[in-house]
Every structure is written in structure tokens, then in C-alpha cells.
Amino acid sequence: MPLFLPSSDDWANRCLNDGEFQLASRHWDGGVRLDVGDETLELSLTNGAKSATDDNAGGMIEISGSVEVWEKVLEANPERFHNDVMANIAQGCGLQRRGDAVVFAQYYAATMRAVELLRPSLAQSEATFETMPHDDRAHGTIDAPIGRYVHLNLDGHDHRIYFEEAGQGIPLLMQHTAGCHSSQWRHLFEFPEITERFRLIAYDLPCHGKSVPPVGVEWWDEQYLLKGEFLRSIPVKLSETLGLVDPVFMGCSVGGLLALDLAHKHSDVFRAVISIEGALKIAGNLADFGELYHPQVNNEYKARLMDGLMASSSPKPYRKETSFVYACGWPPVFLGDLYYYVEDYDLRQDAAKIDTNAVGVHILSGEYDYSGTSELGKAAHEAIPGSTWQDMKGVGHFPMSENPQAFREYLLPILDRIAS
């Protein structure tokens, strides 16, 4: 379909009359310039309001690409890696950006919303949403999970680890993603076809969610870095302390890497692991993510980046909830968790040593995830004899929270296999 672009004035009016853009662009002295082949759309702002001049050029964010690339980006439901500007750039799919890196981080949410407002039928696609039954209950209804704390000695210090649980049967420990907490798993607690056979236990890592930092440790005067030995000890000690017999471990992102790490180093503890968005190695280094913990960049940047890791077709309220949870986290932990994700973890030389007769290994990859891609998940599967792998169509990096109904359909066959 030929690409039709509005005038800059029409585009500016769409943006300035959109509540989401208004909130994301507050105080912005700069604006957005989109180069679409030989055409240019430009919106100049002063203190978040439309400006007739470009006096604030230093705060301008420029995104450029060919008409062919923009045609893919501006589809109503873009294909993988074209649903988000950062996804496109990260995967080398044709877009380029110019401008100050800090300004880009500060106003990336506004920039992406401005791009979204160029897509056709946006209002209709965002309105199409079927509430999960457990999100439309009568006043006074109490949901299934019960939350408690357990004391674990980790690295020589007492940690109060928060966890929620529901269900009965085979223990299933669930580890959240980097910089987040256990609420990502809330939907699974409400699926009786799971909780009738599995005791679900979702926990918060130390310094995440309700697992506050340990008393007696001066954690505030040193950089937070999540390291493999410490991370692996948490589900192992939690299983031991709670008296779990032959538990299953399931994790996503950082937790997905941890699942494979545990299969390699602790096959005697777990009967099976489920690695969501897992890989043998994630490229990058911590220096690539400096804007995630910058004194002039707030948590909105982190939240909007997470939105780009999800499928545009996932229900918007659940995508926004997933991003909201990220925005609530202690700023240093996301960057610190990425130390394990991109630097500390590397299973390329050891994957073939995993004995799937001792511990089942199941890998699930979201189609729209541009970090732990489907290609990386498939490569991990091919390197681990006896493992299983499934490409989850129409979901991204956070399937359990961005589209729980779709995720359930991919998860149930694995749980059936484990329970048989």
C-alpha cells in the first residue's frame, strides 16, 4: 500500500491533541523530525507546546529512513522489528537516528507516540481489547495468590525475600525479568488449568519489588551488579528452604538465561526448566545502556523501551501495565541486572553438557522480542540435545504479562509434558 503522509501541521495537531503525547513531551524544548525518503515531517516544541521556530534545534530528535522502511514501520500492525523505532535500529532494519543521546532517552516515549499517530486505524486497533475474566470481577473478590516473606542467607547476609503463591501439586518457581518484580506473573495464578496441578511460587529478587535491600549492608554506596553465582543461589536456596521436592523453574529474560544456567549447574535440584526468551549469549556490554541510569533520564525511558519489546497486537492495557511495572522499579537495578544479562552469562561452551535426561529443558521465544530473539532461542535449542523450542507468534519479550491468554496456549503443552 502506498505511504500517505499528512502535512506537518496535521501531524502536529494529532500529537498535540493526544493525551499520551502531551504527557510524554512535557517541558520539551526541541521536537521530532522524521525524514521519510525525500519528504520531511517536523514538529518543533517549546516547553512542550508547538513552536513556530526551530530555535531549540539542540533538543531535536531526527529519525530517517527510506520510504520502503517507513511503509513497514507505519503499518497498522507492523511486522517484527518494525513495530518500534529502537527495535528497527537495533536489528539494522533501515532507520537511523540523530540527536543528543540524553535528549533521545528523555523524550523517546513522546517520539514513539508521534510515530504511532501516523499509523492508520490506530484508534480502532487500540480499542480492540477483551478483558481477562479475572480482571473483571465483582467488588470484594479476593484473587488467588497469598504473599509472604522468607528469610534467606545469601552471600553471608540475611535477605527477606517476598514471594506469592497459589495452587497445588508440582512446585513451579517463577523468576521475573531484569529490573522488575513478581507481579509479571499475576495472570498465571488465575488459570485453574494450571493451579490445579502446579503450586506456583513467584518471588522478587533482592532489591526488587517487596524484597527490600538487606539491613546491615551499606548497599547505597556501591554500584549494584547482579552476578551469576549470587543469582543462581536464590532459587536453589528458596527451593531448599521451602522444602520443595523436584521443582520446576521458569524465568523470563534474565530469568530465561538463569533457567538454562540452572539446568547446567543445578540439574540435581530441578526436574525441568522453562526458559522464556532464553539464549546462550546476549551480545552487548553495560556501557551500551548508560541512559538507563542517568541523572537526567527518568524511568519513563525504561518503560517505553519495554513497550517496544512487545508485539503491537498484544492488548494495549496489558502492554502499558507491563511498562508501568518497569517504571516503578529502583533505577539502578535494571542496569545492574543487565550485567548478568550481557556480560556475566555465557553458556556457549557448556550448552552441550546439559543432560536433559536429568533436567528437562524447554525454550519459548517471542516473535517480536528484538533482544532475546527467536533466532537466539532456536540456536540454544539446537545446542542442547533433547531440549524443546517453540516460537511464540504474536507476542514479544514479556508474553506472560503482555498477552497472558496467548502465552497460556504455548505454556500448557509444556506443563502437560512435565506433569505426565
Could you read off the pLDDT of 36-62 as tens digits, one per residue? 999 999 999 999 998 876 666 789 999
Q: 8-124: which CATH architecture?
A: 2-Layer Sandwich (3.30)
How does pLDDT run across 310-346, given as a tens digit for each residue?
A: 999 999 999 999 999 999 999 899 999 999 999 999 9
**What is the domain partition of the chain in residue ranges?**
8-124, 142-419
Mean pLDDT of 60-82: 96
Question: Is residue 124 pLDDT above 60, yes or no?
Answer: no
pLDDT of amino acid 302 = 93
The answer to whether 173 and 201 have CB atoms below 8 angstroms apart is: yes
Mean pLDDT of 196-214: 97
Question: Is residue 129 pLDDT above 90, yes or no?
Answer: no
Domain 142-419: top CATH class: alpha beta
pLDDT of amino acid 136 = 82
Domains 8-124 and 142-419 share a fold: no
Question: Is residue 93 pLDDT above 90, yes or no?
Answer: yes
Mean pLDDT of 220-235: 96
